[in-house]
């Protein structure tokens, strides 16, 4: 099963490499959104430090959601997804591999870039480190939850809007705890509680989301 999982991840990473423009679009969107806010609200350092956690987390959330349409749609369009359902590999395992590849392409670059963007908000080193950790824990949750919405709206006209309506309410706890961790660290209260709650969300999503996504794919392909 491990070899099958690695095969799915390797295949999706290879396809993403061949379509590098899609991944770069997500990354540039994150950079543009995070950069425009300081230009709009002014150069006051105190205000920027206060707004930084929410701005960076909202930008990461929107950028991650922007990439959800590519999770299953291309495989569905060329018939690959139907062949995956007919393969002897468990569909849940295939979903896990595709979500892992999706996070490596669209989530991990955001995590690595966020500390650099935090410099323009004058965040302290401790808060920047917590921002990195919160995104490292939280962005996989966004991918796992988003996979359910992408599977439910597969092949539906206007699926992008429906995905946003489905997953945005489920993203709110991740946004609250992720931005709250950075804000708590910046104010001197400590971020351990928020990070532990994010870890709990990640554990719950990792346990339940692949099964729900597999069931949604079967429903969408019937």
Q: What is the rounded end-to-end Cα distance, in angstroms, of the chain?
A: 26
Q: Where are the beta strands (DSSP E) in 113-176?
A: none
199 contacts 137 by C-beta, under 8 angstroms = yes
Q: Element (H or E) spanning 104, and its range?
A: none
171 contacts 61 by C-beta, under 8 angstroms = yes
pLDDT of 51 > 80? The answer is yes
Give pLDDT tens digits for 171-214. Answer: 999 999 998 998 888 888 888 899 999 999 999 999 999 999 98
Give pLDDT tens digits for 118-162. Answer: 888 888 888 889 999 999 999 999 999 998 988 888 877 666 677
3-state secondary structure (DSSP) of residue 222: coil
Sequence-distant (≥ 6) Cβ neighbours of residue 54 within 8 angstroms: 179, 183
Give the pLDDT score at 208.
Answer: 92
Give the pLDDT score at 204.
Answer: 93
Give the pLDDT score at 47.
Answer: 80
- 112 or 44, which is more confident? 112
Average pLDDT, the chain: 86
Most confident of 25-29, 86-90, 194-198: 194-198
Give the pLDDT score at 22.
Answer: 79
Give the pLDDT score at 160.
Answer: 67
Q: Is the dihedral of CA 82, 87, 93, 94 positive or negative?
A: negative
Average pLDDT rounded to a whole number, residues 81-95: 82
Rounded distance, CA 115 to CA 123, Å? Answer: 9
């Amino acid at each position: 099963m491990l070899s099958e999982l690695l095969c799915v991840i390797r295949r999706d990473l290879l396809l993403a490499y061949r379509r590098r423009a899609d991944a770069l679009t997500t990354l540039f969107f994150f950079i543009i959104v995070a950069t425009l806010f300081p230009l709009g609200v002014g150069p006051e350092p105190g205000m920027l430090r206060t707004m930084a956690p929410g701005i960076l987390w909202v930008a990461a959330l929107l950028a991650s959601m922007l990439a959800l349409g590519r999770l299953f749609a291309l495989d569905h369009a060329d018939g690959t997804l139907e062949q995956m359902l007919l393969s002897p590999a468990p569909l849940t395992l295939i979903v896990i591999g595709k979500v892992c590849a999706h996070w490596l392409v669209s989530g991990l670059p955001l995590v690595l870039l966020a500390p650099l963007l935090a410099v323009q908000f004058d965040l302290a080193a401790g808060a920047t480190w917590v921002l990195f950790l919160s995104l490292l824990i939280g962005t996989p949750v966004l991918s796992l939850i988003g996979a359910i919405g992408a599977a439910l709206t597969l092949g539906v006209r206007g699926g992008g809007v429906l995905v946003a309506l489905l997953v945005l309410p489920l993203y709110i706890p991740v946004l609250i705890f992720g931005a709250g961790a950075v804000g708590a660290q910046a104010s001197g209260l400590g971020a351990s509680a928020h990070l532990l709650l994010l870890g709990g969300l990640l554990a719950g999503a990792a346990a339940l989301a692949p099964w729900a996504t597999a069931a949604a794919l079967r429903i969408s392909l019937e």
